[in-house]
Amino acid sequence: MKSIGVLTSGGDAPGMNAAIRSVVRSCIYNGVKVYGIYYGYQGLIEGNIEEMNIGSVGDIIQKGGTVLYSSRSDEFKTLEGQKKAIKQLQKHHIDGLVVIGGDGTFRGAQKLTEQGYPCIGVPGTIDNDIPGTDFTIGFDTALNTVIQAVDKIRDTATSHERIYAIEVMGRDAGDLALWAGLAGGAESILIPETDTSFEGVIEKIRRGHERGKRHSIIMVAEGVGSAVDYANKIQEELQVSTRVTVLGHTQRGGSPTANDRVLASRLGAFAVNTLMDGHKGRMVGIENNHLVHHDIIDILQKEHKIDHSLLELSNQLSI
């Protein structure tokens, strides 16, 4: 393997820059040429490719977003688009690719691997919804962003004796809402992986109110629906004042936490080593603090599972 390309694709996540830095520097350390591919698979199709050096990734470890930019390419989903991408890889003499992103990114990596281009996936998404790794790059930072917001909302909720429904991202996964709910002391956590009865939510608010609680925080994962709808239903049922905060894309930005930087640095370097060892169509991850790699096909077929014990604990602590 003489030359490796790196790209970021799909929704950006804090820590992607630390991963790019790690890939680029690990290649250079190992005497391998490294190319940055801009705007994900779309940029690959269009030949938006540049050789990187040590300085190309200087001063980015602390930055949110991705210096390689990102896109969601419909063209790359077609065979014609994939052929164009392969032509570009051949033109630049790129022997293998490291792709940083979520499941859509890995689907693309699998297509290229099947067509003879070895690819390694690095899980980068705030959703933490990828099987085969305990954590994805960006999740810890997004979680801390949510928690900062929850703490602030709690102040004003207490002052005005209000019930707040806070909607967090995660697409179809509830990890962000679950972890934020536990860390933020939410009364109820609504996530797509489990059925939480609306009556149960109401009952908890009622009980809290009876013992003099001045506020309630209901954490709503976007995958279960709109926090506005839940807040309206609660208001109707209890005849109390509710408010809604939809945190939106604030959760995707910001300087990565130390945990995300360390995770990204470890996974980026490990992806390069995995590629150099001759593997292809694999996703690197971290399990029980050990670096691992799994077949991307298996990863795409498996369902991400939440840690139900966290939900039980949250219920236990928010009685």
Q: Which is nearer to ligand F6P, 18 or 126 (CB)?
A: 126
Tell me the closest approach of the beta carbon of residue 64 to ligand F6P, in angstroms.
13
Tell me the closest approach of the beta carbon of residue 168 to ligand F6P, in angstroms.
8
Site stretch for ligand F6P (CB under 6 A), options 147-155, 164-172, 202-210, 275-283: 164-172
- The Cα 212–Cα 208 span in angstroms is 6
Tell me the closest approach of the beta carbon of residue 290 to ligand F6P, in angstroms.
26
Q: Identify whether 127 is a catalytic site residue.
A: yes
The end-to-end CA distance of the chain, in Å, is: 57
Binding mask 170-209 for ligand F6P (x = CB under 6 A): xx--------------------------------------
Identify which of 285, 243, 240 has the alpha carbon closest to the alpha carbon of residue 263: 285
Q: Which is nearer to ligand F6P, 187 or 222 (CB)?
A: 222
- The Cα 112–Cα 97 span in angstroms is 9
Amino acid at position 178, single letter: L
* Catalytic, out of 12, 74, 95, 127: 127
For the purposes of burial, counting CB atoms within 10 Å of the CB of 319, is it exposed (0-12), middle (13-18) or buried (19 or more)?
exposed
Q: Quick check: 64 binds ligand F6P (CB under 6 A)?
A: no
- The Cα 19–Cα 61 span in angstroms is 8
Binding mask 87-126 for ligand F6P (x = CB under 6 A): ---------------x----------------------xx
Q: Is 159 in contact with 221 (CB distance < 8 Å)?
A: no
Q: Which of 4, 8, 9, 11 binds ligand F6P (CB under 6 A)?
A: 11
Q: Which of 252, 261, 266, 294 binds ligand F6P (CB under 6 A)?
A: 252
Site stretch for ligand F6P (CB under 6 A), options 91-99, 109-117, 163-171, 284-292: 163-171
Identify which of 23, 13, 176, 209 has the alpha carbon closest to the alpha carbon of residue 98: 23
| Residues 6 or more apart in contact with residue 190 via CB below 8 angstroms | 177, 196, 201, 218, 219, 220, 221, 224, 230
Q: Quick check: 169 binds ligand F6P (CB under 6 A)?
A: yes
Q: Quick check: 304 binds ligand F6P (CB under 6 A)?
A: no
Q: Is 195 helix (H, G, I), strand (E, B) or coil?
A: coil
Find the binding residues for ligand F6P in span 216-235 (CB under 6 A). 222
Q: Which is nearer to ligand F6P, 56 or 250 (CB)?
A: 250
| Strand pairing category for 3-8 and 96-101 | parallel
Q: Quick check: 127 binds ligand F6P (CB under 6 A)?
A: yes
Q: C-alpha distances in angstroms, 230 versus 1, 233, 310?
A: 54, 5, 22
Site size for ligand F6P (CB under 6 A): 10
Tell me the closest approach of the beta carbon of residue 143 to ligand F6P, in angstroms.
12
42 CB-side CA count, 13 A: 11
Q: Which is nearer to ligand F6P, 169 or 234 (CB)?
A: 169
Binding site residues, ligand F6P, CB under 6 A? 11, 102, 125-127, 169-171, 222, 252
Would you name the residues annotated as active-site residues? 127
